[in-house]
Every structure is written in C-alpha cells, then in structure tokens.
Structure 1
Amino acid sequence: MKSLTKDVKVVVFDTFGTVVDWRGSIIRDLSIWGRNEGIQADWTALADRWRLEYEPEKNRVRNGEIGWTNLDELHAHALEKVAAEVGIKNLSRSQMQHVNSVWHRLDGWPDAVDGLTRLKRKYVIGPLSNGNVALLVNMAKHAGLPWDNVFSCELFRHFKPHPETYLGVCRLMYLNPAQVMMCAAHNYDLAAARALGLKTAFIPRPIEYGSGQTTDLVPEQDWDIVAKDIIDLAQQMGT
C-alpha cells in the first residue's frame, strides 16, 4: 500500500455522503425546525425526493439548458418542485430559504473529524465537491471539518465527473495527477478520477440513502485503498 500512495501530497474528498451524512442531517435539522415553526411535514420524504433531483438539476447545466448555476441555486429550484410534491405548502420566502440552506448545516459522519484531522498532519486535505464555495465553507464551520482548502466545483464551473474538476485540483496545487488522491463512497467518482491518473480510495457508506440502500455497498474496482471509514483511511495512509 505504501508504494501505491507514497507520492500522494493532496487528498480530496467527495463530501455529500462520504464525509457528511446529508440525509440524516436534513431529517434531524428540519424536524426540529418544523416543530419550532409549527410546520407538520414528512421531512424524510422531502430529503429523499429532493436528492432525486440532484442529477437532473446538474444535467440542466451539463446539457446547456441553462448556463453555469451553482448548487445552492439548483437546490432552490428543485425545492420549489419537491416541497409541493410531499405536501409542504405555504412557506414564506424566508422559510424556504432556511430549508434550502440546510445543506450548509450538514453533520459529519462520526469518524469524519477525527479521520480528517489525522490526515491533515501529513497531507493537504479538502473537499472536491459539487457544492459551491459558500455551502462548503459554512458546512465546514458547522461540522468542524478541518479542511486546508475548499476545492469546490464552482471554481472550475463544471460538475463532477467532468475531467476539469479532478484536473483542476492538480492544476491549482501544481501537482501531477498521481500526487492527488480522490476519496469517495461512490464508485463512479473514483472511476472518473482514476481514468485521469489520480489515486483512489473507497469508503463505503452503506446507509447514506437509508437502510434500504442498494448502491455503492462494495468497491467495484481494485481501488488503491479500500477503508472502512476515514479513520481507517488515515491509518492506511500512515497518519
């Protein structure tokens, strides 16, 4: 393992699902807020239905239907649709903005802060995420994520798995692809990174989508590292 990763200088992470528990966080956050606001809603249904719009919304940018639009704005557009579908109606503008900003308030998985802190001792670490800069910075403050830098796809004006996102990290850090490791709970993300020469680490999150999850339960290729969580990744990476 050491020979595979000895040249790595930067370790970047998919964030939604890999580092933070987006589904559980949304349900917890909005359930408390809804009770305080006197709003009865199926927040679990909202979280699941909202996430189903994630790829379709990004595809509106990818296929040229709309110009570059960051994830906060895409989430807001999707929320207008899905809130009505799950029976959440008559929210004020400020209430809708609060709901949409829940993505800024996501909690890390239990191993995230400890594992990232260990990795930070030796490597430059940061999210390579479709989230926009403000979202990722606010999330890091909320969850205590000790990033060295935020490699938001907003900087590259492309969403993953576009090559410019992965190679953009290499360009910004003046590194060859083999000196950058992509870590993710999603096989497609790692496959795109590996095709460009990056090192790869798979961290399964089998309840990202709830107890009935059927995807990304196991590594689909021989990734450079397969770790049970970020603490295990740090150990395997020598920190």
Structure 2
Amino acid sequence: MPARNATDVAAQNGAKQVKALLFDVFGTVVDWRGGISREAAAFGARNGIDRDWLAFADDWRGLYQPAMEQVRAGNRGFVRLDVLHRENLDQLFGKYGITGISEEETDHLNRAWHRLRPWEDVLPGLHRLHRQYVLGTLSNGNIALMVNMARNSGLPWDAVLGAEVTRSYKPMPETYLGSCEALGLRPDQCMLVAAHNGDLQAARDCGMKTAYINRPYEYGPHQKVDFEATSDWEFIANDMVELADQIGCP
C-alpha cells in the first residue's frame, strides 16, 4: 500500500482542522483473536478442558454483531458490551460442552476482553499522534472495558467515548455524532481511525474525517473483508506509525 503525501491529503480534505483522532479499538488497536484464544487456552489449562481455542475465540466474536443488533433494532434497551459478552460466553459454554465452571472463573474469562494487547505498531504510533491530537476511543466497548485495557497496555487515551457514552452501538449515527459532541467538537474536527471500511463509511456519512489502518490478519484465515481500503479515505496506512508519518507527527 503506497504512502500518501501528507501535505496533499491535508490540503485536499481539510485535515488540518482536525483536533481529535478517535479510534475503533477491536481489531484496529488490539488483537482480539490472539488475545482471546490465549486467555481461553489458559482457562482450559486451569480447568482441565481441551478445545480448539482459536475456534472458540472466532465463535465468541461471531456473536458480537447479532447481540448488538438486538439493541440497535430496539428489541432491548441499551446494555453494556460486558453484559453482551457474558451472555454470549454462557451460550458458547453450552455449544462447547463446558460445564461446572465457577462464577469467578467465568467472570475472569469474560474480562479477557479487558486485557487485550495492542498490535506492536500501536503504542509507538499513538505516542507520536498524541503530541499533536486529542486521542480517544470510538468503540462499542464499554467504559470499564476500555479503561482497564488502556491501563493494562499503556494506551494514551484522553477520552473514552463511543457506545456507553452515547447509549448506542456503531454504526448508528448517534454513536459517532455523540462522541464528537462530547469533546465539544464538530464532526469535521474529528477523524475516525479504523481498520474497517464500513465503520469509516458510517463516520464519513456523519461528517467525520477518516483514516484506514490495514489489518488483513485480524480474523486469521477466516477474514473475508477489509484486506485493503475500498474508498478514498483521507489517510490510508499500513499501521499507526505510517499514519503518524503521513500526518506529519514527529
């Protein structure tokens, strides 16, 4: 993926007026598949359970969108992602024939999402971007999840925004617009950084600027989309360090 001229991009798209970079987190900032499969394998070892833990991670993530859709469709009131993750985990235990697990062990596994680690380019890139911009999350993850993840890995967020703050789940417009409003900024003063073209399109539709980060291995061999940018996003980069280069952050 070729680098783009940061000066040209800024001139063409008004990127110089951007005050805040808001980040999708799962897949863009952290490696959920690797992290969840490792935590699940450790859970299995502690409890004498042998399963395909990569498949378990994929299946747990596979229940993510359907669970949120029940909220988006108005079939249930807003609940935090921790609650949806726990409901999905209980469902997975049934599918995988896992029984007799204590509440303490189950809760610890559910909070594996709080302990996900960033891709290796993330911290160097974010620290450079932080010199010039307000940084925050624009994630479907709830506040406690995002805060714990940041403290575990040193993610330099200035604000934790997204689903719980706006009581909505992406790609609902209010998730994007409410996050910008919470910072006292117009949508065009905020840029979404994400590895998912659909997320970026929803942000652009709300008036936000956009930056694509390529994560072609997020879903391992099961990835079917987001191998490359599919639109003319303001910035297109292979990783966070390259994004900092393109924007001109020292």
With the shorter chain as reference, the TM-score category is over 0.9
- Aligned counterpart for 1:72 among listed residues 66, 82, 93: 82
TM-score scaled by length of structure 2: 0.92
Alpha-carbon spacing, 1:159–1:21, altered in 2? closer, same or farther (3 Å) = same
Counterpart residue type for residue 135 of structure 2: I
- Work out whether 1:234 is the aligned partner of 2:247: no
- The alignment partner of 2:145 has SS state of helix
Cα deviation, residue 43, structure 1: 1.5
Cα deviation, residue 193, structure 1: 0.6
Sequence identity, in percent?
49
Superposed CA deviations along residues 25-63 of structure 1, whole A, max 9, x for unmatched, are 111222234323433232212111111111110011112
- Of the structure 1 ranges 84-93 and 123-132, higher mean CA displacement relative to structure 2 is found in 84-93
2:92, 2:44 → 1: CA distance? 17
Equivalent residue number for residue 142 of structure 1: 152
2:184, 2:165 → 1: CA distance? 16
Equivalent residue number for residue 169 of structure 1: 179
Unaligned runs of 5+ residues in structure 1 are: none
Equivalent residue number for residue 53 of structure 1: 63
- The alignment partner of 2:230 has SS state of coil
- The alignment partner of 1:100 has SS state of helix
- The alignment partner of 1:91 has SS state of coil
Cα deviation, residue 169, structure 1: 2.1
2:140, 2:166 → 1: CA distance? 10
- The alignment partner of 2:159 has SS state of coil
2:129, 2:98 → 1: CA distance? 42
Contact 2:71 2:78 in 1 (8 A): yes
Counterpart residue type for residue 38 of structure 2: R
Equivalent residue number for residue 188 of structure 2: 178
Equivalent residue number for residue 118 of structure 1: 128
Cα deviation, residue 126, structure 1: 1.0
1:78, 1:32 → 2: CA distance? 19
1:152, 1:190 → 2: CA distance? 14
- Work out whether 1:7 is the aligned partner of 2:7: no
Which contiguous aligned blocks of 4+ residues in structure 1 show a shift greater than 6 angstroms? none
2:42, 2:120 → 1: CA distance? 20
Cα deviation, residue 87, structure 1: 3.0
